Every structure is written in C-alpha cells, then in structure tokens.
A = this chain, B = another copy of it.
Amino acid sequence: MDFSETNHHRLSRPIRCIVKLGGAAITCKNEIEKTNEEGLEIVASQLREAMVSGSSLPKGVGMDWSKRAECSEISLNVDDFGDQELMELSNFIVVHGAGSFGHFQASKSGVHKGGLERPLVKAGFVATRISVTKLNLEIVRALARESLPAIGMSPFSCGWSTCQRNFGSANLSTVTKALDSGFVPVLHGDAVLDEAQGCTILSGDVIIRYLAEHLKPDYVVFLTDVLGVYDRPPTEPGAVLLREIAVNEDGSWSVLKPRLKDSSRQVEITVAAHDTTGGMMTKISEAAMIAKLGIDVYIVKATTNHSVRALRGELRGDVIPDDWLGTLVRFSR
C-alpha cells in the first residue's frame, strides 16, 4: 500500500509538541499494573496548562463520565457545559510507554522475538495488548478528567506493523484527522504484526521518532522519573546531569554543558553512557535522531516545575536558563 499521500496529510494547524510519558514516570515500577495516580494527575494538569492558549486557564469540565473503581456513581451535570466555550488548545500528541504494564507479559512470552505459531507467543501477544490498552485507558481517563479531549489510539488498531522489527511506514491519517478535529491522540507502545517474524513490540520511542519525522512538531518532551540524562546512573555518587547535548550531522553527539575541563572526561562520559548505563544510551540515541531533524528534545523529570516549563515551550530560546534542570538535546548546525 502506498502511504506517501496520507503521510503528507496537511494539518490545518502545525503540531506544537509530542510528549512521551515515560513508563517509569506514570506507573509504579515495583508493582505490576499499578499507575502512579498522583503523578499522572499532575502530569495531566501540566499538559493542560501547556496546551491552553492565552494566559488564563479557563475552568474546564471533566470528560471522563465513566464509573471509577472507588465510586459507584457517575457525577455529571450537563448544565456545566452551557456557558462553556471550547478551550483553544494547541496541537499535542501524547505517546506513553508501558512501565509496569505490558512488560511482564511481553518478556515472559518473548513477543518481541516473533513466532506467532507458538502458543506461548500468541498468548503473550494477546496478554500484552490487554495490559497496555488497560494502561492507555487509564491515561486517557486521567487526561479527560483534566478537560483534555484525549482519544486512545492503539498502534495495532491503526494498522501499524513492522518489517524485520523496523517501523517502515504507517498510515498517519487517523492521527492527523483526530488532531484536526481538536482531539489529543494518545498512542502507546504496542504488540504489532511483523511481516518477517510474525510479530514484535513497537516501542513508544520508535513511534515518537516516526511521528516527529513526518509531522514535524516544534519540539519534543520526554517525561521521565529523573531530572534528565546523567553521565552515569543517577544513584551513583558524583553523577553529573548533562544539561545540553549537541548532535552532529553524522549522528554523533557531545556534551556542551556542563563544560568539561579535559577532553578525556568527555570520552569517559560517552563510554559510560554506552557501556554501563543501558537505557540511557538508548534514550540519547533516540533523542539524537529526533534532534537531527532540527527538532529540540527536552528530557525532564515529570511533575516538576522543570517539566511544565519544557511543555509550555518556555525554553525555546538559544540559551537555556541556569535554573532549568533537565537535558536539552539539540542539532548543532
């Protein structure tokens, strides 16, 4: 199928920001399938603050009219909507990771390695999708309670698939149509079909890179559970927060801030990030690939004042303020 036309679907308004809600920021790491309710509530409220145009935040009316576990009744007053004007929201896309959802099911069954003809993999595929769509529903509801018109969209249902685990092409028209109708698409890492190996896991980070490439947002924000990217695991003594990373044309990157006294220290960081800190290197690589498109990437701790500043686009100038803590990954022209 030729997706070229739909991938160049013109949005009536440009996309301001693609936000990654990191699994670690919105779920409880050590308990299977538990959302971080409090964190999620703050994230949703910060997103709303960032998306509403103008300086004053109008009163919003909740859009989650479903029963919640803790209460048996739905409270809804239709009259609340009588004097409401539709909030003018800028275009955001939310993509979330899995955290303590999906990971257990995927790793037990090896869904990422393919092999749908094996009963364990087939069951794991089904189980993974159940778990991640359960989380997706929770996140959509949290955003809806903050008056954000969130629409859950599963990559599998969108018809996105991979080939040899590479995400070649995806029809983005459902996403762009939702945006043009004033909704906030909420996507997620998902189990998907793979032409070569039957199935695999399409991660939230890969989805973001694809969306960034084709929809060209002004900036991208990764919300995580630490202040940003460090030169070693942040729990280790002496760990240094990398404030600004410059990405070169060839995809290599170097630390611009903090200024390091000798260049051997620079190498040390690169090696450390490569070899011992695992996920950190992946995170920088993904961010670097987006930055290479000329799109600034902010990696920042969720629910902080630093995250709200990044989400609102307050750091778009040449120099990032000293009192902002986080990691900016930027193309060095």
In the complex, A6 Cα to B324 Cα: how many Å?
50
Interface residues of A in 188-243 (CB under 8 A from B): 193, 198-199
Interface residues of A in 126-156 (CB under 8 A from B): 126-127, 129-131, 133-134, 137, 140-141, 144, 147, 149-154, 156
* With known contacts A66-B134, A81-B123, A108-B65, A159–B158 Cβ distance under 8 A: yes
Contact partners of A181 in chain B: CB under 8 A = 116, 193, 198-199
Contact partners of A91 in chain B: CB under 8 A = none
Residue ranges of A at the interface with B (Cβ–Cβ < 8 Å): 1, 5-6, 32-33, 61-67, 69, 74, 76, 78, 81, 84-86, 104-105, 108-109, 116-120, 122-127, 129-131, 133-134, 137, 140-141, 144, 147, 149-154, 156-159, 161, 171, 173-174, 177-178, 181-183, 193, 198-199
In the complex, A199 Cα to B32 Cα: how many Å?
37
In the complex, A181 Cα to B149 Cα: how many Å?
33
Closest residue of chain B to A154, judged by CB? B157
Cβ-neighbour of A64 out of B74, B130, B161, B182 (below 8 A)? B130
In the complex, A157 Cα to B86 Cα: how many Å?
24
B118–A66 contact, CB under 8 A? no
B119–A86 contact, CB under 8 A? yes
In the complex, A131 Cα to B64 Cα: how many Å?
8
Contact partners of A124 in chain B: CB under 8 A = 65
